[in-house]
Amino acid sequence: MINSVEASAQQRRRNLLDRLAAGVIAAGGIWVILIIVLLFFYLLAVVAPIFKSASMAQQAQYSTPAIHHGVSVYLAIEESKQLAVRATPNGTFIFFELTSGTPTYTYHLDLPPQVTVDSIAQADVDGRFLNVKLDDDSMIILEIGYRVSFDDERRVLTPTFSFPYGEEPITIEHNQQSDHRDLVITEDAVVAVVSNRNNRTVSVAFFEAEEGDELADPDQVSQFEAPFDIDYQMVDGQARWLYLANRSGQVALYDLNDAEDPVQVANIALLNGGAEAVVMQPLLGGSSILIGDQFGNIYQYSITRDKQNQYSLARYRSFELDSSVQVILPEDRRKGFIGISEQGTLSVFHTTAEQNLLSVSLGFDARYNNELHALSTYSPRSDRLLLETNGNIRVYEIDNHHPEISWSSLWNEVWYEGYESPEYIWQSSSADNDFEPKFSLIPLSFGTLKAAFYAMMFATPLAIFGAIFTAYFMAPAMRAWVKPSIEIMEALPTVILGFLAGLWLAPLVEDNLLAVVSVFLIMPFELIFFAWLWHILPHSLTRRIPDGWQAAVLIPVIIVFVWVAFAVSPLVEQAIFGGDLKGWMRTTLGINYDQRNSLVVGLAMGLAVIPTIFSITEDAIFSVPKHLTQGSLALGATPWQTLTRVVILTASPGIFSAVMIGLGRAVGETMIVLMATGNTPLMDFSVFQGMRTLSANIAVELPETEVDSSHYRVLFLAALVLFAVTFFFNTIAEVVRQNLRKKYGNL
C-alpha cells in the first residue's frame, strides 16, 4: 500500500515536471519568435520613411517687407530659417522674419552715383560669398554673416556684412558692355567671366588671391570668340568648366584649367524638334546643367569622358512639367531641383533617383509674372521655398527628407555624373560637398552571395565527405578524437579567423599563389593515386592498419604533398610564367589580383562553416537506424551500396539542413569578410578579386553615419534585405527538409 502511494506521488511529480518543462520550452520558443517579429518590424519602421512621398504646405503669406525700397533682385533664406533677406536695385538689403515678414534689419550698400544693382548670385560652393552685379559692368564680392545673441532666452540673429576682397568694385576690361558676369571664388583664386550676348567675345580673368587680399588688376585675362550668340553663361563652383549656350540649345563647353588659353572641349546641339532653351541652370557641383524648353521638358546634361580621355556632354535623363518651364531652382546640397511651369505648377525632382517627388499648383499663372525667376529661392536645407509675386511673399514648407532614394537608385543601373554609362555603384560618402551619393544595393548583395558561394565551395564537400567517412567508415576510437576536434573549431571566434586571414593567410597566398592553386587542383588526383597504390599493396602490409584507421595514413601523405607543392612552385613559376604568375594573369588573361580576395575569404570562412555542416551531417548519418544498414548488408549489398542507396537517402533531410544552416551562417558572416577582403563593392565574380558584403558594409559605415539620414536608413534597409534573404533560405530549407523526411522517413 505504501509503495503504491509513493509510486503515485512520484508519477504526479513527473507529470508536473513534464508539464513545467513543456511550458518553459513553449514559452522560450514563443519568445524567440516574438523577438524575431519585433526585430523585423523595427527594421521596417526605420526603413519606411525613405519611401515616403514629399509634401508641401503654405506656411505664411504677407506683403513684401519695405516695398518702398523697390522690387527684389535677390531673395535668400538664412540656414536656421529664422530670417530671410531681399535686396533691391538701390543696394538695400532688408532682413525680415521668415514666418511673419516683420523687418528686423536694413543695410545699405555703398554704391557709386547713378549705379544700381542688376542681380546678385552665389560666388562660391559653400554659399558664403555673393557676387553683386552692378549695371556699370562691375561686381562686388560681399559676405553676409549672422551674429547670434539671446534676449530673454530668445535667439536673436544680427546680420553682419564684410568685403573679403575689398570694397572697390571689380571691373574686367571688355570691348562692350557685358550681358553676363559670373564670378567664382576658389581656395586660392578668384575667376571672373564676362561676355556680351551678340558680340560673342568672352573675357576670362584670373586673380590669384586668398580671402583678405585686395583685388587689383587680374593676373591673367584671356579672350576668345564664342561660336554663337550667347544667351546663357555658367561657370561651375571650382572654376573648371565654362558653359556658353543660346536659346536654340547650342552649348559650347570650355576647360578653364589653362588660364592663358581656355580650351573648347565640346560644341553640340542639345535640343531638337524646334525646342528652345527658355531656362538653363547648373546642378549642384556644376558638372551637370539643367535645360528647360517651352514644351515643359527639363533635360539633364552632364560632362562625360570617354576611353580616349575626350570630354563631351551627354543627356542623362529628362523630366516633364505640364507647360513651358519658367523656373528651375537647384538644391544647394543635393542633386535635386524645383521646376515651375508657366501654368503655376510646381514639381520637385531628384536627378539620381530619376523621380518626380511632388507636383502641386501654386494658384497663379506664372506667365503673368516675367520676373518670377528672380523672385524665388530655396532654403539651404531645401525645406523652405520663398516666392515673391505681385507685392506679396509666400512661404512654403517642404517635407522631402530622402529624395535620393527610389527603387531605381537602389536596384537599377544609374547613370552617375562623370561616368560613361549606367552602372551599379555603392559609394555613400566623399570629401566633396557636391558629391552624388550612390546607394545601389546590388554590389553589396552580389558581394554577399559571392563570399558565401566561395566559402560553401570550399566547406561543403570537405564537411559532408568528412562527415560520411567519420560516421560510416571510421573506427569508433578514431571517431571519438576526430568529431570533438572538429566541433571545437566552431568555438573559435570569427574575429580571430578574420585577423589571421587578413594579416597572415592573405600575404601567404599572394606569395605562393601557384602552390595554393596546385594544392586545390592536384591533391584530389594525388589522393586517388595513393588510394590505388594502397589497393595494389600486398594484403600482408595493409592489414597491419586496423579497419577504420586508414584515414590516419593520409595525414603524412597530405603534409608531404603540400610541402612539395610549396617547395617546387617557385621553380615552376620561374620557368613557365617568368617568375610572376600574377603579372602573367594580368597581361595575358586580363585578370587582376588583389591581396585580400575571394580565395582568402573562401578559405577563412570555409573553416568557420565546416564545423557546422560537419557536425549536423555526421549526426544525421550516424543516427540512421542500424537495422536499415544491417538489413541491406544482409541482403548482399556492399557497404558502399548501402551508403549511397540507404544511409544517405535516409539522412538526406539532416544533410540538407546542415548545408542550408552553413549557407545561412556564410551569408550573415561579418568579421571574416570585414578583415579578409578589401571591402571594395565590385561587381566581379573573379576569385582573385575582393568584395563588400551587406553585413560588413553595415559594420563599417553604421557607426559613422548621421542618425535618421538617408545613408543611415539605407544601411537599415541593407539589414532588412539580409534578414529577408536568410529567412527565405531557412524557410526553403525547412520545406525541403520536411518533404525529404516524408519521402524517406518510412525506410
Closest CA to 53 of 371, 360, 357, 423: 357
Q: Which residues contact 317 (CB under 8 A, 6 or more apart)?
A: 299, 300, 351, 354, 415
pLDDT band at 2 (very low <50, low <70, confident <90, very high): low
The CATH class, in words, for 442-507+594-744 is mainly alpha
- Tens digit of each residue's pLDDT (9 = 90 or more) over 664-697: 888 888 889 888 888 888 888 888 988 899 999 9
- Tens digit of each residue's pLDDT (9 = 90 or more) over 197-233: 887 888 888 888 888 788 877 888 888 888 998 999 9
Q: Which residues contact 118 (CB under 8 A, 6 or more apart)?
A: 73, 89, 133, 134, 135
Mean pLDDT across 396-422: 90
What is the reported pLDDT for 745?
A: 60
User: Among the CATH numbers 3.30.710.10, 1.20.1260.10, 2.60.130.10, 2.130.10.10, which is that of 270-423?
Assistant: 2.130.10.10
Global pTM value:
0.87
- Give the residue extent of every domain in the chain: 270-423, 442-507+594-744
What is the reported pLDDT for 744?
A: 64
What is the reported pLDDT for 431?
A: 64
**Topology alike, domains 270-423 and 442-507+594-744:** no
Closest CA to 198 of 223, 171, 226: 226
What is the reported pLDDT for 367?
A: 56
3-class secondary-structure state, position 556 = helix
Helix or strand (DSSP H, E) at 629: helix 626-634
Closest CA to 621 of 588, 654, 583, 599: 654
Range from 7-21, 448-462, 642-656 that averages highest in pLDDT: 448-462
Strand order of the sheet with strand 201-207? 180-185, 190-195, 201-207, 220-225
Mean pLDDT across 734-741: 76
Q: Which residue has the higher pLDDT, 729 or 512?
A: 512
